[in-house]
Amino acid sequence: MDNVDRQILEQVTAWTASGHRVALGTIVRTWGSAPRPPGSAVAIRDDGLIAGSVSGGCIEDDLVDKARAGTLATSKPQVVRYGIDADAAHRFGLPCGGLIELVLEAVGPHSRLPQLLERLQRGERVRRRLDLQTGHVTLEEGTPNDELVLGERELVTHHGPSWRMLIIGAGQLTQYLAPMAHALGYQVTVCDPRDEYAEGFKVEGATLVRTMPDDTVRALQPDGHLAIVALTHDPKLDDMALMEALVSPAFYIGAIGSRANQAKRKERLKEHFDLSDEALARLHGPVGLKNGARTPPEIAVSILAEITAVRYGYRIPEPVATEVTAKVAAGCVA
């Protein structure tokens, strides 16, 4: 569950506290193209107010109509499908053959949403088990590899940060990158042993550590859900992180610097740390999509755009400069 869906849970808790009946819907399966992935949530209040989204809007309209009629998830949880055939898919705004399956549950004390939110606010990862016969919920400690599972008797969902990001360097660019990454659902760790950068660093949603970068990478035990971004411009720090990162399972590894600096960096890593060409080919540098970004917030956006593309298996081709972009790069166009 990402930060957007956490906001939904907060809204649900506020609605129920004010006396409203609320139904919570969770996407459990999709076939074909779907707007939101499994695990995404939507909440519908008894008067038709809605938080979140599971489609382009038509499914939400149907859920709102049922909520206002008092027929939405009134007893035990129910599994519903939208778009089973081409006519239904068209009606609910899904591609032909597309299908979304939801579990709808009536929210109450048995749902344990306040307890779930409290644990999420502490940065914990939580496994939530919903009994499909009774609606009773149990909360357990989660792991980074938890997956959503729908069985005959229960729905198991995972909540909290499953994607992590390690940023080397607490400089100005990190002040933008860290909160943006947090908003996208990453658990963000910032590593900087330098007093002049670490003192006074404070970004909501980011944890600062003062250990050396190579030790930090090892301590995080990289897996396929970790992105590592080196931003110090200091080879003594960036290279130490990269020598560990490039032989790890981390799904994304990037470093700031020009193409010339990247070439020199790869030469150093190969010569001093005996990294293979295959390992060095994993390095994204200059870091981020090549979209003309120049300011720190623009560069942060380009970094996250590239990480997002890698995360979902997309390869973005190098851009082709136009006359307009050339003028912008030269400072001739506002």
Helix axes 259-273, 235-245, angle to 10 degrees: 60
Asked if 188 and 174 count as a contact pair (C-beta separation under 8 A), the reply is: no
- 3-state SS string for the chain: CCHHHHHHHHHHHHHHHCCCCEEEEEEEEEECCCCCCCCCEEEEECCCCEEECCCCCHHHHHHHHHHHCCCCCCCCCEEEEECCCHHHHHHCCCCCCCEEEEEEEECCHHHCHHHHHHHHHCCCCEEEEEECCCCCEEEEECCCCCCCEECCCEEEEEECCCEEEEEECCCHHHHHHHHHHHHCCEEEEEECCCHHHHCCCCCCCEEEECCCHHHHHHHHCCCCCEEEEECCCCHHHHHHHHHHHCCCCCCEEEECCCHHHHHHHHHHHHHHHCCCHHHHCCEECCCCCCCCCCCHHHHHHHHHHHHHHHHCCCCCCCCCCCHHHHHHHCCCCC
Lowest mean pLDDT, pick from 91-100, 182-191, 200-209, 261-270 = 91-100
- Measured CA to CA, the distance from residue 201 to residue 206 in angstroms comes to 10
Burial zone of 75 (CB within 10 Å; 0-12 exposed, 13-18 middle, 19+ buried): exposed
Res 91 pLDDT > 60: no
pLDDT in tens, 215-247: 999 999 898 889 999 999 999 999 999 999 999
- Measured CA to CA, the distance from residue 197 to residue 185 in angstroms comes to 25
pLDDT in tens, 5-49: 788 999 999 999 999 999 999 999 887 666 677 888 999 999 999
pLDDT in tens, 121-130: 887 889 999 9
- Measured CA to CA, the distance from residue 119 to residue 27 in angstroms comes to 22
Domains of the chain: 3-159 (no CATH), 163-311 (3.40.50.720)
Confidence band for 56, pLDDT divided at 50, 70 and 90: low
Output the CA–CA distances (angstroms, integers) from residue 178 to 189, 191, 212, 308, in the order listed. Answer: 8, 12, 19, 15
